[in-house]
Structure 1
Amino acid sequence: MNTESFKTYSAKPGEVQKKWVVVDAEGQPLGRLASKVATILRGKHKPEFTPHIDTGDNVIVVNAEKVSLSGKKMTDKVYFRHSGYPGGTKFTNPEEVLKKDPAFLVKNAVQGMIPKNRLGRKLLTNLRVFAGPDHTLKAQKPEKIEL
């Protein structure tokens, strides 16, 4: 039996072909949008996916302010942060966050769906989120994809 045909392919960082893609978040449920964006960032949609290499594409998310949350999550969901000082807890809901920084909702949701290690931090640098319909990365000639 010839074992040469059973070799596992492992992508090398120099061999990876990265594209730029644009995703429109308007009317998309936040969790479903985030999981699909995380898949593209990670490169799991490509046949040459390798778990320890950044094989994903660069993703531009537009219209982040128009993302939807089901049920009463807009008012009942809570984002927690702490200043590090006694009594320094801060709680905010998505409604308040959307007014201040609409991109935070999408970035935070995607961040929760990628690995919590060096590779995950590297993958987050391939994500760009814009509140409105316009983005500043036209020179990269991104292709628009439907989720």
Structure 2
Amino acid sequence: MKTYRPKQAEIKREWYIVDAKGKTLGRLATLIANVLRGKHKPYFQPDMDVGDFVIVLNADKIKYTGKKETDKLYQFHTNYPGGLKVRTLKWMLENKPEEVIRLAVERMLPKNKLQKRFMKRLKVYTGETHKHQAQNPKPIDSIVPMWKNF
């Protein structure tokens, strides 16, 4: 018996919407990463791009536990001598709240050629509005019923 491999024309991409208000950052990022990869589909293949689009609203209203506000650090380098920059979670939420969710999801995806493709399908917004009404996004509860418990 052969393993079923979906053709590119057979892959149907859906749009899902997530409200991040009051949701824990790590649990939210895990759910988004799984939907972007397509792990909820019966024909999921780890080496194929079969995932869906995800819209995240209220990125600035996520919840975190413990002392992460001051202890969690985001580091990057400017590629200049002495260019190491360090930002706390508090600073990131005040200045770049979309980047917090984007980095959390990106770091949960596999580090291979598909990672950029997955990240292109993630749309993160700070407010209640988005510009993807024409795609008729469904709530994420329709594929992950346990999401209500987070």
**Shorter-chain TM-score: which interval?**
over 0.9
Cross-structure match for 2:88: 93
Deviation at 1:143, TM superposition (A): 0.6
Question: Match of 1:19?
Answer: 14
Aligned-partner Cα distance in 1 for 2:42–2:72: 37
Aligned to 2:135: 140
Q: What residue is the counterpart of 2:144 in the other structure?
A: none
- CA displacement at 1:82 relative to structure 2: 0.9
Letter in 2 for 1:135: H
CA distance in 1 between counterparts of 2:76 and 2:52 reads: 30
Paired amino acid for 1:13:
Q
Q: Which has the larger radius of gyration?
A: 1
Paired residues, what number? 142
Report deviation, 1:7.
Answer: 2.0
Please provide the CA RMSD for this pair: 0.9
Structure 1: which 4+ aligned runs deviate by more than 4 Å? none
Q: Give me the whole-angstrom Cα distance separating, in 2, the residues matched to 1:113 and 1:145.
A: 18
Residue among 111, 114, 136 paired with 1:116: 111
TM-score when scaled to structure 1?
0.93
Kindly report which structure 2 residues correspond to 1:48-59, keeping only aligned pairs within 5 A, or say none.
48-59=43-54
The answer to whether the Cα contact below 8 Å between 1:60 and 1:128 also exists between their aligned partners in 2 is yes
For residue 3 of structure 2, the aligned residue among 5, 8, 13 is 8
The runs of 5 or more residues in structure 1 that have no matched partner are: 1-5
Aligned to 2:72: 77
SS of corresponding position for 2:55: strand
| Runs (5+) with no aligned partner, structure 2 | 142-146
